[in-house]
Amino acid sequence: MRLRYTLLSSTLAAKGLDAFAWEASASQFSETLWKKTCFEVFVADRASERYWEWNFSPTGAWGAFSFSAARVRAPAEARRDAGFPVLKNDLSRLSEGRLVLEVTLDWSFSPWLAWSAANDRLSRDAVFSLNAITDSASGERVHWALRHGESGRADFHLRANFLSLKEIISR
């Protein structure tokens, strides 16, 4: 799966990457990437409560997590958090207030995701949540999502906020 995140910001135009607080570590797993500016994708099996979460930073840091239900991390023996393949995490452009981050994921760690992708069934069997968290260097935090739900409160784990590929494409 390939994802492209684009962040537009007048502050970014003026200050570059220093406009935001980023995870310092590069190209490695981070358990707490979501505590700073990052981009996220959640992928869920429509027919069950299980889902997966990936976090990405333009520094190359990344996080990946498996859940058996909403906010319930899968048991250690059933997950391989640091082993989730992130094939590419590339800050491809930073210019004129635009940051573009491209990410490529490999589904092979999960038999269900690998089978669904190989059989062109993700569009039918999966739902997604695409999000971003921005922390400015001055401390302002903003949660971005395709859907925040009725409360308007950011809860990226809430299944009601997940969308099918068809819904995402139609936005």
Backbone region of residue 112 per phi and psi (left: phi > 0; alpha: psi in -120 to 50; beta: other values): alpha
Q: Which domain holds residue 41?
A: 2-169
Q: What is the pLDDT of residues 112-169, one digit of tens each?
A: 777 777 778 777 888 999 999 998 888 899 999 988 877 777 899 999 999 998 888 8
Q: Other C-beta atoms within 10 Å of 75: how many?
A: 9
Residue 93, domain CATH: 2.60.40
User: Considering its fold, how many domains does the chain have in total?
Assistant: 1
